[in-house]
Amino acid sequence: MEREQAQRVRAGDVAVYRRARYRVIAIHDDGFWAPYFELEGAGVVGHALIDSVEIQPAYGVMVRQRAARVRIDQAAGLLSPELGIQA
Tell me what percent of the residues of the chain surpass a pLDDT of 70.
64
Low-confidence ranges of the chain (pLDDT < 50): 60-75, 78-83, 85, 87
- Are 36 and 77 in the same domain? no
- Are 66 and 85 in the same domain? yes
- Are 48 and 76 in the same domain? no
- Are 30 and 64 in the same domain? no
- Are 61 and 51 in the same domain? no
Looking at the 3D structure of the chain, how many domains does it have?
Answer: 2
- Are 9 and 44 in the same domain? yes
Could you list the beta-strand ranges (E) of 40-84.
43-46, 52-54
- Tell me the C-alpha distance between 85 and 81, whole Å: 6
- pLDDT at position 39, please? 96
pTM equals: 0.62
- Which residues span the domain enclosing 50? 1-55
